[in-house]
Amino acid sequence: MALLEVEALCVNYGAVSAVRDVSLSVEQGEIVTLIGANGAGKTSILRAISKLVAPRSGVVRFDGRDVTALPPEALVRLGMAHSPEGRQVLAKQSVGDNLELGAYVRKDRAEIAKDMARMYELFPRLSERRNQSAGTLSGGEQQMLAIARALMSRPRLLLLDEPSLGLAPLLVSEIFEIIAGLGAMGTTILLVEQNARLAMRAAARTYVVESGGIVLEGPSAELAADERVTKAYLG
């Protein structure tokens, strides 16, 4: 059974249909990516899964349970975390405070402290800046903080939206090394990423999104060799 199953998901913004009849799945321990042009509906799919927007119709199952009607905080308690597009760190709060916020559903203070230490090991730059206001960090450092904050809830599934957005190439490579490392440790990730080449290299499977719907899906290595994907997304 897949850890995440989405069936016939539809999202509207007023009269505009942003997501149309999307079905996908993510297995435990798998990295899966959604690729597509800007405005294709990728971010809306993630936001509907985590209930940051209410789907018009469709079903979301997490670990076999229908969670379609649950609010975002309930999904976090069940083990789903969302690192959003644009990072959205608390600019006036310290790096450490942002990380603690990621563990707000937890009560195990000793384990939270261990996870804070683990985040500082995974992201050494955050350790150097733990008392610094998050708004003073570089874009790459804020992205690292957004990912680390999401991981503080000990998620079984990480929804990761546009982690390379606006970053210099060197930092993009660093972020994707981190994603690969998380995957190697068994973290299950559903990734939305504009850089299709890097995304497909990181993910075992790929869904191609166009005009709010999925038009192609399959193993990333196979789709990377597909002429339609090559022409449209890989250059």
If asked whether residues 140 and 111 sit together in one domain, one would say yes
Q: Is residue 31 part of a domain?
A: no
If asked whether residues 90 and 123 sit together in one domain, one would say yes
The DSSP secondary structure of 182-197, one letter per residue, reads HHHTT-EEEEE-S-HH
- Using the predicted structure, report yes or no on whether residue 93 has a pLDDT greater than 90: yes
Using one digit for the tens of pLDDT, what is the confidence trace for 31-43?
A: 999 999 989 999 9
Q: Is residue 108 part of a domain?
A: yes
State the distance between the two ends of the chain, measured CA to CA, in whole angstroms: 36
Using alpha carbons, select from 41, 86, 59, 42 the residue that is nearest to residue 5: 59
Using one digit for the tens of pLDDT, what is the confidence trace for 101-110?
A: 999 998 999 9
pLDDT at residue 149, rounded to an integer: 94
Using alpha carbons, select from 87, 49, 88 the residue that is nearest to residue 70: 49
Q: Is residue 99 part of a domain?
A: yes
Residue type, 67: V
DSSP state of 137: S
Interacting residues of 65 by C-beta distance below 8 A, sequence separation 6+: 78
- Using the predicted structure, report yes or no on whether residue 9 has a pLDDT greater than 90: yes
Q: Is residue 202 part of a domain?
A: no
If asked whether residues 83 and 129 sit together in one domain, one would say yes
If asked whether residues 86 and 63 sit together in one domain, one would say no
Domain count, the chain: 2
Q: Is residue 50 part of a domain?
A: no
If asked whether residues 84 and 109 sit together in one domain, one would say yes
If asked whether residues 104 and 135 sit together in one domain, one would say yes
Interacting residues of 24 by C-beta distance below 8 A, sequence separation 6+: 4, 5, 6, 32, 34, 45, 207, 214, 217
Is this prediction's pTM over 0.85?
yes
Beta bridge partners of 19: 11
* Alpha helices by DSSP H, 85-138: 95-102, 109-122, 124-128
Give the residue from 117, 135, 156 where a domain finishes.
156
Give the residue from 112, 131, 156 where a domain finishes.
156
- Using the predicted structure, report yes or no on whether residue 218 has a pLDDT greater than 90: yes
12: containing domain: 1-23+55-68
